[in-house]
Each structure stands twice: as C-alpha cells, then as structure tokens.
Amino acid sequence: MDLLRAPLNPLLESILGLALFTVLALTGVFLTRQTHFQSSVPLLFIAIAALVAFFIGKRAAYIGLLASAIIFAFLLFSPLGSWHVDAQDARVNLAWMIMGGLAAAWIFARQRSAPPPQHPDDQHQDG
C-alpha cells in the first residue's frame, strides 16, 4: 500500500489537488446545473477530500476544497458569476463542504513516516 501513498513534493501535491478538484467541480457544475439536486453537489466533496487527503495529502485536499467552493459559488449557484449565493440551502451545503472537508482531510491524511525512536540501550559501543 506504500506505492499508493508515495511522498510527493509539496508543490506537486498542491498542483495535483487543485487540478483534480477543479476538474471534478467543473464536471459537477455542468452535470447538475438546472437540476433539483444541484445544491447537494458540494456535499459529495467531503468524501472526495477524505480520499484525496489519504492518497495524495491534506494540502491537496485543502487547496482543492477552496477551489471547489469558489467554482460552485461562481458557476453553479445563482447569481452566476458572483460570490453571493442566494439560496440558503446552497450556502449551508457550501459551509458543510468546507468544514466537513477540512475535518475529513485532517482525519484521513496520510501520516509522514518517521524513523522509530531509538533507546540508548540499543546503541552498542565497542570498547
């Protein structure tokens, strides 16, 4: 499983997260525009944030969540092209996406592997 969780350069991790979330958010916008469940699309990104944090890193999930929230505010919810979101349920779901996504990314983030601590008794000196 270590191959799926290989350490990445922080800049590459950020770019990968931004690109992945941007593509997924734009896909969600175009697939659900003018449907009755368009305001629920951001809630899917909580699970996506957990998966991205686990496989890529939490920095990728954090940056991706921010990009997704901006995309949804500007392109999915009315008025289009504005930060302002008219619908109360859409605003609440965006807030849940950010808060829940950040929490999920933090919980499911891959841990940096550190060398095991050494006891002084384990170090043998010849002498």
**Torsion angle of C-alpha atoms 48, 49, 51, 55, degrees rounded to 10:** 130
Residue 9: predicted pLDDT: 85
Q: Structure pTM?
A: 0.80
DSSP letter assigned to residue 80 = T
Q: What band does 21 get if pLDDT is binned at 50, 70 and 90? A: very high
- When comparing pLDDT for 25 and 7, which is higher? 25
> Is residue 1 a part of any domain in this protein?
no
Tally of domains within the chain: 1
> Is residue 70 a part of any domain in this protein?
yes
> Is residue 2 a part of any domain in this protein?
no
Contacts of 98 (CB under 8 A, 6+ apart): 65, 66, 69
Q: How far apart are CA 18 and CA 66, in angstroms?
A: 9
Q: Which residue has the tokens 């807030």?
A: 95
> Is residue 33 a part of any domain in this protein?
yes
> Is residue 99 a part of any domain in this protein?
yes
Range of the domain at 54: 7-112
> Is residue 68 a part of any domain in this protein?
yes
Residue 118: predicted pLDDT: 74
Q: Could you report the per-residue pLDDT of 44-89, keeping only the tens digit for each?
A: 999 999 999 999 999 999 999 999 999 999 999 988 888 889 999 9
For the cut 80, the answer to whether the pLDDT of residue 98 exceeds it is yes
